[in-house]
Amino acid sequence: MAYTADILDSLVPITQFNRGQASKIFDRLHSESRLIVLKNNQPAAIILSPSEFQRLSEIEEDYTLLLEATRRLKEDSSSTSSREDVMSELGISEADLAAAGDVVME
Asked if the structure places residue 42 within a domain, the reply is yes
Which of the residue ranges 33-37, 71-75, 102-106 would you say has the lowest mean pLDDT?
102-106
Answer whether residue 74 shows pLDDT above 90.
no
Range of the domain at 7: 2-49
Report which of residues 4 and 92 the model is more confident about: 92
Answer whether residue 85 shows pLDDT above 80.
yes
**What is residue 15's predicted lDDT score, i.e. its pLDDT?**
92
**What is residue 103's predicted lDDT score, i.e. its pLDDT?**
74
Asked if the structure places residue 36 within a domain, the reply is yes
CATH of the domain at 32: 3.40.1620
Answer whether residue 76 shows pLDDT above 90.
no
Euclidean distance between CA atoms 47 and 10, whole angstroms: 10
**What is residue 66's predicted lDDT score, i.e. its pLDDT?**
96
Euclidean distance between CA atoms 38 and 21, whole angstroms: 14
Cβ partners under 8 Å of residue 45, min gap 6: 36, 37, 39
Asked if the structure places residue 84 within a domain, the reply is no
**What is residue 59's predicted lDDT score, i.e. its pLDDT?**
97
**What is residue 14's predicted lDDT score, i.e. its pLDDT?**
92
Question: How many independent structural domains does the chain possess?
Answer: 1
Element housing 99 (H / E): helix 94-100
- Total-model pTM: 0.59
Element housing 34 (H / E): strand 34-39
- The average pLDDT across 41-51 equals 94
**What is residue 1's predicted lDDT score, i.e. its pLDDT?**
46
Asked if the structure places residue 69 within a domain, the reply is no
